[in-house]
């Protein structure tokens, strides 16, 4: 995200993320806006790019792009199990 402090980013965070328990993950619900549904779909596709052929995190790829601190945090999060799963847990 190129402007994490932009007003539109804050509005989306407050409307969709802050109002949901973290264990619920990031997901699109039927009543959500089309914008949010598309953002969740894109996010799910980006997350899928970091899985290996067994569905586990591709840690080698992550280590090439992210700091070890970030990779270690991601290790604690189970990867989504399939490409149609529109959430992060």
Q: What is the pLDDT of residues 22-38, one digit of tens each?
A: 444 567 788 888 888 88
Query: Hey, is 12 helix, strand or coil?
Result: helix
What DSSP character marks residue 82? Answer: S
Q: Place 84 in a pLDDT band, splitting at 50, 70 and 90.
A: very low
Q: Rounded CA gap, 41 and 45, in Å?
A: 6
Per the DSSP assignment, residues forming a β-bridge with 57 are 51
pLDDT of residue 18: 62
Q: What is the pLDDT of residues 38-49, one digit of tens each?
A: 888 877 777 878
Residue with tokens 């604690």: 76
Q: State yes or no: pLDDT of 71 exceeds 80.
A: yes
Query: Hey, is 89 helix, strand or coil?
Result: coil
Q: Give yes or no for a contact between 62 and 45, defined as CB atoms under 8 angstroms apart.
A: no
pLDDT of residue 22: 47
Lowest-confidence segment of 5-9, 15-19, 49-53, 59-63 by average pLDDT = 15-19
Domain boundaries, the chain: 7-75
Residues contacting 36, CB < 8 A, separation 6+: 12, 15, 16, 28
């Amino acid at each position: 995200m190129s402007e994490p402090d932009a007003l539109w980013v804050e509005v989306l965070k407050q409307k969709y993320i802050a109002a949901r328990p973290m264990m619920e993950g990031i997901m699109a619900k039927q009543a959500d806006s089309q914008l949010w549904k598309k953002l969740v779909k894109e996010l799910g596709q980006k997350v899928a790019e970091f899985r290996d052929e067994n569905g586990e995190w591709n840690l080698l790829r992550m280590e090439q792009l992210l700091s070890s601190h970030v990779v270690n945090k991601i290790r604690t999060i189970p990867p989504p199990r399939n490409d149609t799963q529109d959430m992060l847990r």
